[in-house]
């Protein structure tokens, strides 16, 4: 009976995919918990919080970190709910990119998906950069414990490359391996975070006061509090929380590999945000209460305040264990970020959206994984991480790029769902009467943070402190709009109808048969007229 029900669910999923114009190519091996686990692992509160903890302490301090986390969590949940409703109506690996086309008027569909796809690609690459670069940084830091090792830019880039290559190799072997790693990752994050906080709180010689944790404001930006206002510092200080609570669209990118996708993908998004918000606040409070000496923590010789907290509370041996927990979280997070990244690139390439689409839009028949886009994701992330070598400001900029790119790509389909709400066909997951106000609030929040995170973060602004996120976002804006009007509008049609080609026995992504496909389509057009 269970097998019959399972087959029925798979059949319904494939019918939904066929309705949207695609054939089933990726294996449907993931259930609700696995789908949730991918987003939960990519959000990875341990990764985001640990990598930007120094930024948080300098940009508003404990008060902004604690209360900013709550505010950001609430608005992120609104974004997630709006996205989950859209995901339920359109469950496909293209995620926001595909939704933008489906929610637009037909004459604007191609342009909407084109712009959304490029912002999502930017965010996906940047978030993989931030995650894996942080993993490499923490690996380099823990290697200095009880050794004479001194990290340099050369060793850092070597470790970074090794991390990306290893994550790429794991993704190369297909979803059957990721399925088990996913389960391990969920428990590693949950139990690891819980154990970490218990360890530092129980072993800390002293604890900070509640007044320090909940009310202490720190302006370590170099003077923005005086030059602009404390409100300015508060606004840019929310980056730590917003960057951490990013990447939940992974549940959407994995829907073509998920059973009962119309519900599982949506619930996966909402669950991942909710669980991460609670777990993250718990971790944040544990770290702040366990700070022994604020100045020594901020100016730690390790370069990582979190590592200094471990050393001060549980000693060197204990710190090594806790650092391994964090590095494990970061590694899992980066691995699944590449999984999500590669699926998005594959979906975009499948529709001709990126240079070399015919080469990249291929799924390995043996591993049922888009291997070429896996390595494209690794390569682009490696390149984007190079400016962060020896520069915490550049790393913060990379996290800003990730946050802005991803959230703009989230906001485009949600905004289109508001604009064209009369044509929206709900899926099984919907918000009822709350749908419209939630979507509007989500769009307004995304507009706010997209402006906030391109603002200068350190005063004075010079070549070393410049927030280059505005450059990266500007390049994508210029390229996506410029290339659209110059060329892409003439040939890019948005999500392609792959089934029509398959019915002719043609692989539209095979260069040797592309002309045959074009000829067949022209013949059909003539016969139809």
SS3 of 258, please?
strand
Per-residue pLDDT of the chain (529 residues; tens, 9 = 90+): 444 434 444 445 445 445 444 444 444 455 667 778 778 888 999 999 999 999 999 999 999 999 999 999 999 999 999 999 988 887 765 678 888 888 888 888 889 989 999 998 999 899 999 999 999 999 999 999 999 999 988 899 999 999 999 999 999 876 677 778 888 988 999 999 999 999 999 999 999 999 999 999 999 998 898 888 999 999 999 999 999 999 887 777 566 555 676 788 888 889 999 999 999 999 999 999 999 999 999 999 999 999 999 999 999 999 999 999 999 999 999 998 898 888 888 878 878 889 898 899 888 777 777 889 999 999 999 999 988 877 777 888 889 999 999 999 999 999 999 998 888 888 888 898 999 999 999 999 999 999 999 999 988 888 778 888 999 899 999 999 999 999 999 988 887 544 344 344 444 333 344 445 455 655 665 565 5
SS3 of 218, please?
strand
> What was the pLDDT predicted at 520?
60
Q: Phi then psi for 30, rounded to 5 degrees?
A: -100, 140
Query: Of the candidates 125, 128, 100, which has an alpha carbon nearest to the alpha carbon of residue 44?
Result: 128
CA 267 – CA 32 distance, rounded (Å): 8
Q: Are residues 389 and 509 in the same domain?
A: no
Q: Kindly state the tokens that stand for 420.
A: 């064209």
Q: Kindly state the tokens that stand for 4.
A: 């019959």
pTM given for the model: 0.85
Identify whether 247 is part of a domain.
yes
DSSP 156-176: HHHHHHHHHHHHHHHHHT-HH
Identify whether 489 is part of a domain.
no
Longest dimension (CA), the chain: 82
CA 374 – CA 357 distance, rounded (Å): 14
Q: How many CB atoms lie within 10 A of CB 486?
A: 9
Is the CA virtual torsion 213, 216, 218, 224 positive or negative? positive
Q: Are residues 521 and 379 in the same domain?
A: no
- Cα distances from 392 to residues 143, 145, 154, 384, 465, in angstroms, run 20, 21, 16, 14, 9
Q: Phi then psi for 60, rounded to 5 degrees?
A: 110, -30
Q: Are residues 513 and 450 in the same domain?
A: no
CA 94 – CA 102 distance, rounded (Å): 11
Q: Rounded to the nearest 5 degrees, what angle is found at the Cα of 92, between the Cα atoms of 89 and 185?
A: 110
Q: Are residues 474 and 518 in the same domain?
A: no
Identify whether 436 is part of a domain.
yes
> What was the pLDDT predicted at 494?
80
Identify whether 116 is part of a domain.
yes
Number of domains in the chain: 2
CA 440 – CA 252 distance, rounded (Å): 21
Among 448, 464, 484, which residue terminates a domain?
484
Expressed in angstroms, the distance from the first to the final Cα of the chain is: 49
> What was the pLDDT predicted at 393?
79
Q: Are residues 139 and 65 in the same domain?
A: yes
Q: How many Cα neighbours within 13 Å face the side chain of 65?
A: 31
224-261 b/e (C-beta count within 10 Å ≥ 16 → b): bbeebeeebbbbbbbbbbbbbbbbbbbbbbbbbbbbbb
SS3 of 143, please?
coil
Identify whether 490 is part of a domain.
no
Give the DSSP H or E segment for 60: strand 59-60
CA 483 – CA 255 distance, rounded (Å): 30
Q: Kindly state the tokens that stand for 42.
A: 């990519």
Identify whether 168 is part of a domain.
yes
> What was the pLDDT predicted at 524?
60
CATH code at position 222:
1.20.1740.10
Q: Are residues 189 and 333 in the same domain?
A: yes
Q: Are residues 21 and 65 in the same domain?
A: yes
Q: Are residues 504 and 456 in the same domain?
A: no
CB 64 within 8 A of CB 232: no
Domain containing 356: what range? 1-484
CA 34 – CA 369 distance, rounded (Å): 17
Q: Which residues contact 430 (CB under 8 A, 6 or more apart)?
A: 85, 88
> What was the pLDDT predicted at 395?
87
DSSP 307-363: HHHHHHHHHHHHHHHHHHHHHHHHHHHHHHHHHHHHHHHHHHHHTT-STTHHHHS--
> What was the pLDDT predicted at 81?
96
Q: Are residues 169 and 76 in the same domain?
A: yes
Q: Are residues 54 and 172 in the same domain?
A: yes
Identify whether 420 is part of a domain.
yes
CA 330 – CA 394 distance, rounded (Å): 19
Q: Are residues 302 and 326 in the same domain?
A: yes
Identify whether 28 is part of a domain.
yes
CA 38 – CA 339 distance, rounded (Å): 9
Strand partners, 60: 218
> What was the pLDDT predicted at 427?
86
Q: Are residues 505 and 399 in the same domain?
A: no
């Amino acid at each position: 009976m269970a097998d019959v029900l399972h087959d029925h669910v798979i059949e319904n999923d494939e019918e939904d995919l066929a309705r949207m114009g695609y054939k089933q190519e990726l294996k449907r091996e993931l259930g609700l918990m696995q789908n949730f686990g991918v987003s939960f692992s990519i959000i990875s509160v341990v990764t985001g919080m640990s990598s930007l903890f120094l930024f948080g302490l300098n940009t508003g301090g404990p008060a902004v970190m604690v209360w900013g986390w709550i505010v950001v969590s609430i608005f992120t949940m609104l974004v997630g709910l709006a996205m989950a409703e859209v995901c339920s109506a359109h469950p496909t690996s293209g995620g926001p990119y595909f939704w933008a086309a489906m929610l637009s008027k037909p004459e604007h569909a191609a342009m909407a998906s084109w712009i959304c796809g490029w912002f999502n690609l930017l965010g996906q690459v940047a978030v993989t950069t931030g995650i894996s670069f942080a993993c490499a940084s923490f690996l380099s830091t823990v290697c200095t414990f009880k050794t004479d090792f001194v990290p340099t830019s050369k060793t850092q880039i070597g470790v970074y490359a090794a991390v990306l290559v290893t994550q790429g190799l794991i993704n190369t072997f297909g979803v059957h391996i990721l399925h088990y790693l996913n389960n391990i990752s969920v428990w590693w994050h949950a139990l690891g975070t819980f154990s970490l906080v218990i360890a530092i709180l129980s072993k800390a010689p002293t604890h900070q006061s509640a007044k320090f944790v909940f009310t202490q404001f720190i302006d370590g930006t170099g003077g923005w509090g005086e030059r602009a206002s404390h409100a300015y510092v508060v606004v840019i200080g929310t980056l730590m929380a917003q960057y951490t609570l990013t990447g939940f669209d992974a549940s959407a990118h994995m829907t073509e590999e998920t059973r009962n996708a119309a519900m599982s993908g949506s619930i996966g998004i909402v669950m991942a945000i909710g669980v991460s918000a609670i777990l993250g606040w718990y971790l944040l409070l544990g770290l702040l209460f366990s700070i022994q000496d604020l100045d020594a923590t901020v100016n730690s010789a390790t370069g990582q305040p979190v590592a200094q907290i471990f050393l001060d509370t549980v000693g060197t041996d204990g710190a090594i264990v806790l650092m391994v927990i964090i590095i494990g979280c970061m590694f899992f997070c980066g691995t699944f970020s590449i999984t999500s990244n590669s699926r998005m690139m594959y979906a975009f390439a499948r529709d001709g959206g990126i240079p070399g689409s015919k080469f990249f839009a291929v799924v390995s028949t043996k591993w049922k994984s888009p291997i070429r886009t896996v390595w494209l994701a690794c390569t682009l992330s490696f390149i984007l991480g190079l400016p962060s070598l020896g520069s915490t400001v550049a790393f913060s900029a990379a996290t800003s790029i990730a946050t802005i790119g991803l959230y703009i790509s989230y906001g485009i389909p949600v905004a289109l769902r508001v604009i064209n709400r009369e044509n929206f066909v709900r899926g099984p997951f919907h918000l009822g009467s709350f749908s419209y106000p939630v979507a509007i609030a989500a769009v307004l929040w995304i507009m706010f943070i997209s402006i906030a995170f391109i603002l200068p973060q350190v005063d004075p602004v010079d070549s070393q402190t410049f927030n280059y996120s505005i450059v990266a976002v500007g390049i994508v804006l210029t390229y996506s709009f410029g290339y659209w009007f110059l060329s892409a509008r003439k040939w890019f049609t948005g999500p392609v109808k792959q089934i029509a080609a398959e019915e002719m026995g043609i692989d539209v992504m095979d260069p040797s048969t592309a002309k045959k496909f074009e000829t067949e389509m022209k013949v059909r057009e003539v016969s139809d007229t």
